[in-house]
């Protein structure tokens, strides 16, 4: 089972260093763990977690190897830094920065070709779910992705990200099962995952782990989720 912590725009190098120093001294057997710091904290995270089983991934990656793309970072740059993988297509990237299904897939293909592992995020808005469009939305989003040994999909219903709302275990299982019928890759659940609800979500047969947001910023809560995953 895979537990990935998406730190979003939190933890500069000093905070990241403190977190990683404490994390590397924590016993986390039986679960695959990834932390996803902001770009400025990747180097210190890679350095301090070197020699452990904890991987470091970026929160985004560009589709070109290099070029006039101010503000972007390429897969070869991340590989040179020692980064393990990258998230692509997060709902916040789609909402605020114009990411689409097409650009998400292009970023994923470039990162996979460069040898990075990829967590590609999909999920419906609350309005889409209320209109009964969840399966159509998920089908459209994954249609642009291709199965790969290094690809993982994260199902994150937009209405459950940073809102305190969480999909019920039944909703998560249904969405994950549907996604697996479309694409044969591991599927993580994301959306207000906390120590209090991790067990019931992660115990669903089609759930292969979690992409954790706010709860990954505090060591105790992140470790609790990781240990819950390891116990299942």
pLDDT tens per residue, range 104-159: 999 999 999 999 999 999 999 989 999 999 999 999 999 999 999 999 999 999 88
* pTM of the full structure: 0.96
**pLDDT band at residue 164 under the 50/70/90 scheme:** confident
Phi and psi at 153, nearest 5°, equal -105, 140
Which pLDDT value is given to residue 200?
Answer: 97
Tokens in use for 162? 């940073």
* Catalytic residue of the set 92, 99, 124, 156: 156
| 156 a catalytic residue | yes
Angle between helices 101-113 and 134-142 (to 10 degrees): 40
Tell me what pLDDT residue 163 has: 77
Identified catalytic residue from 62, 90, 92, 176: 90
Q: Is 64 a catalytic residue?
A: no
The mean pLDDT value of the chain amounts to 96
Query: Could you give the domains of the chain?
Result: 2-231 (3.20.20.70)
């Amino acid at each position: 089972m895979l537990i990935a912590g998406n730190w979003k725009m939190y933890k500069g190098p000093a905070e990241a260093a403190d977190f990683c120093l404490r994390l590397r001294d924590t016993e986390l057997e039986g679960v695959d763990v990834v932390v996803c710091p902001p770009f400025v904290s990747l180097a210190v995270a890679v350095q301090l977690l070197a020699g452990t089983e904890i991987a470091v991934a970026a929160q985004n990656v560009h589709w070109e190897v290099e070029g006039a793309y101010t503000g972007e970072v390429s897969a070869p740059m991340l590989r040179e830094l020692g980064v393990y993988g990258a998230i692509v297509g997060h709902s916040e990237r789609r909402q605020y920065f114009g990411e689409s299904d097409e650009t998400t897939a292009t970023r994923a293909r470039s990162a996979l070709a460069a040898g990075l592992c990829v967590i590609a995020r999909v999920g419906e808005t609350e309005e889409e779910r209320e209109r009964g469009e969840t399966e159509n939305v998920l089908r459209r989003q994954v249609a642009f992705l291709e199965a790969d040994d290094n690809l993982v999909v994260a199902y994150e219903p937009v209405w459950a990200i940073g809102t305190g709302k969480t999909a019920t275990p039944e909703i998560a299982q249904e969405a994950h099962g549907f996604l697996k019928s479309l694409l044969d890759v591991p599927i993580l659940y994301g959306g207000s995952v906390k120590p209090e609800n991790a067990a019931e979500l992660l115990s669903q047969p089609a759930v292969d782990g979690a992409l954790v947001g706010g709860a990954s910023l505090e060591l105790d809560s992140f470790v609790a989720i990781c240990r819950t995953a390891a116990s299942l």
